[in-house]
Every structure is written in C-alpha cells, then in structure tokens.
Amino acid sequence: MTAVLLSGRELSARIRNDTAAAAHVLRAAGTSPALAVVTATADEASASYVRSIARTAARAEVDCEIHDLGPSASEEDIRDWLAKLSADPAVHGIILQTPLPSGVSPLALAGAIDPAKDIDGANPLSLGRLVVGLPAFAPATAAAVLKLLDHHAIGLSGRRVVVVGRSTVVGKPVAHLLLARDATVTICHSRTADLAEYTREADVVVVAAGRAGLVTGAQLRAGCCVIDVGTNTDGAGGIIGDVEAASVLPVAKALSPVPGGVGPVTTALLIEHTVRAAASALR
C-alpha cells in the first residue's frame, strides 16, 4: 500500500476561479475588492510568502497593497497603520505579516484589525467567535486544512483526530474547526510526553509543529490520513514538511504533500476571504 497524495493544487485553482468570478461581480457593482498586507521584517521567507499572496490576488483580479514598514518599525507605527486601514472603506481585508520586529507581539497588535476585515483570523475576537461557533474568519491555514480534508472526502464526524501543535495561528484554530465538525480532537504539543502514544490511535493526524521529520510511519496507525502543515527549509533551497514522507507513505492511506498540499489552499483562501469581506461590506 502506498498513500494517496492529498494535493491542494486543483482545489486551490478552483477556489481562485470562483473567487475571480465573485470579484468580477463585485467590480461590476462598483466595488473593487482590496487586500492590504502590513509587513515589518527583512525576513526573506516572509517576503516570498507576501509575494505569493500578491500573485494569487492578481490572478483573481483582487487589489493587493503591501505596506512595508521595515524591520525597525515601532509597535505604535504598526498599530497606526492597522487602525488607518481598518477605517479605510476601500480596504476589505488586512493581513498583519509575521515575524514582527523583536519585542512586538502580534497578539497585542492584531486587536487593532477590524474583525470584519480580519481575513486571516488574527484578532483574538475572531478566534473567540470561532470557538463559540459565531461567524468569523478562521486563520487561512486552519481553514485550508478543513477544505483539503473535505475536498478529498475524508470524513471527520466521530473520528479520532490528533493535532500536533497548539499555536494561535494553526494548532488551536484547526482543533476548534475539527471539533465543530464532530471529530474527537486531541491536541499534542512540545511538552506532550509520548507523542506516538496519541498519533498511533488517530484516524487523522494534522501536524503543525515546524519540525522536519517529527512524525514518522512507525508512529502511525495503518490506513490513517495525515495532513502536513509544516514548512521547513531542507538546506538545499527547497521546503519540506513535518512528516517523514518516505516512512509515512507505506503506512498511511493518504498524506498531503509539502509543497503542494495545504500551502496553495491557504493563499487561495486569503483572497477568497477578502472577496467575501468585500461582499459583506456592501450589505
């Protein structure tokens, strides 16, 4: 047996096409959906991610402005920009890109993003609404995990799902989205005593730890599905996930590849959320 690869490319293309069509309708009605990205770092991986967001926006004919405040921007500078963009009716979606300058906390600043424009679910209010089941934008990566599972018809109700990672941007929101779909969810993290004890019992494993090779085939139940959210550099200019694909492929039923799994769905969803926010602003 070798696992099926849960590609995100076809799904991403479909989301982008549907988003482009929705953006076209909005423009015909006089609204140009617009995304603003605030960045304050010289980090090359971050810059490359922002470029990929801008490319995806351009393909869906969504405006994307990048506000690069530079790595020495102060917390006040960044908060002022977020407040200005939140108040600007021509802006529909706002992303606060990380990392931020040292000492500046994304959580302290994300509260300055208008929840209606918080298309990457960064404002703590968005996560709170998500947890209690009120409408909110989920962080795009967490939403992408669910979209990918649905696209490949992987059932969740009543299934045992282990999420590896408890960050505010991925682990926690994805766990709540899975719970809302009636999965039985266990969250593991860096202090979990024996990770394999949990992953071996799981029907579905979502790995978002940022540790290359953390999950291997020996830690999994035969026939499980694995979603690899991790993106790590491989030392040769490429990116690899958190899952050791070579040992997992013969054990699992399905594995999302890195690159080409969760990543392209995430960027497509950021633009889809922006267009949805623009449509809501019209109502």
Q: Which residues are near ligand NAD by CB under 6 A?
A: 141, 164-167, 169-171, 188-190, 192, 195, 208-211, 214, 229-232, 262-263, 266
C-alpha pair distances (Å), 242 with each of 165, 187, 202: 11, 16, 17
Contacts with 190 (C-beta within 8 Å, 6 or more apart), sequence order: 209
Q: Minimum CB separation from ligand NAD for residue 25, in Å? A: 27
CB atoms within 10 A of CB 51: 11
Q: Minimum CB separation from ligand NAD for residue 246, in Å? A: 19
Contact between 199 and 162 (Cβ < 8 Å): yes
Q: Minimum CB separation from ligand NAD for residue 152, in Å? A: 16
86/219 with CB nearer ligand NAD? 219
51/189 with CB nearer ligand NAD? 189
26/60 with CB nearer ligand NAD? 60
151/166 with CB nearer ligand NAD? 166
Q: Minimum CB separation from ligand NAD for residue 76, in Å? A: 25
Q: Minimum CB separation from ligand NAD for residue 6, in Å? A: 13
Say how many CA atoms lie within 13 Å of 159 toward its Cβ. Answer: 21
24/221 with CB nearer ligand NAD? 221
Nearest to 121 by CA among 138, 144, 106: 138
The span from the CA of 238 to the CA of 245, in Å, is 15
Tokens at residue 157, please? Answer: 């109700």
26/244 with CB nearer ligand NAD? 244
Q: Minimum CB separation from ligand NAD for residue 157, in Å? A: 25
C-alpha pair distances (Å), 206 with each of 42, 125, 271: 30, 24, 23
